[in-house]
Structure 1
Amino acid sequence: MAVIEDVSPLGAELDRSYRVYVRGRLKFRVNQIVYVAFSLDETVMGFAFPKEERAALVASRPRAFHLPAQSDLRFNWINADLAALDRTEARELVVDAWRMVVPKKLSRAYDLTHPHGPV
């Protein structure tokens, strides 16, 4: 079971990323692009994810993943219940979301310094 403390340090550790609070909700940004956001009760993590792959992910694990609100379906976004994820999986999802919003050279540099993924 993952909790917000398992992933929140990544918001400051990943290159060009920073943590902000918007209306009490923790979000991770690169420039002005939000790539991870947590619910107010910190049980749901929304994150950048390719639209074309969402349905397959939700179908594969419907208790862990669910589509965003109807108004957010136009974005590359999906939600996950943190309690249904383990710590490693939650951290990998954050890094993958970060990869969607940074230049490829930063993503490649991360791979060189973290060959086994986020610790």
Structure 2
Amino acid sequence: MNVLIVDDSRVIRNMIARIMRTFGYETHEAGNGIEGLDQLAKLGEMDLILVDWNMPEMDGLEFIKAVRADADHAHTPMIMVTTESEMDRMALAFMAGVNEYIMKPFTEENIGSKLEILGIGTAV
């Protein structure tokens, strides 16, 4: 199972990658939405994408819309992992196409429960 982690913070990418490896995923990383789209084009199908909202060059919301507009990745499960906590921001993310939403700071249990909800993993 392959996961793409799109976040401008190397520390956050490393934390998520470590967690995802405990769930049996092979991890791939990108530092912003443009890099994320490049990775998708290069790597092909992903089983899951975790994406931050606030990033330079192309933010998470723009990235999500671009992924959903691409027939090859339109149905890939996506989880937004962000500090954005306002309900209207969450609504925008869901309207753009995310399947789940996790607030930073997060735990392995937070991610595991979202994988379980999506039917692509089990909670720890």
Q: With structure 1 as the length reference, what TM-score do the two structures score?
A: 0.35
Higher CA-based Rg = 1
**Structure number with higher strand proportion:** 1
Higher normalized contact order (CA 8 Å, seq sep 6+, divided by chain length):
1
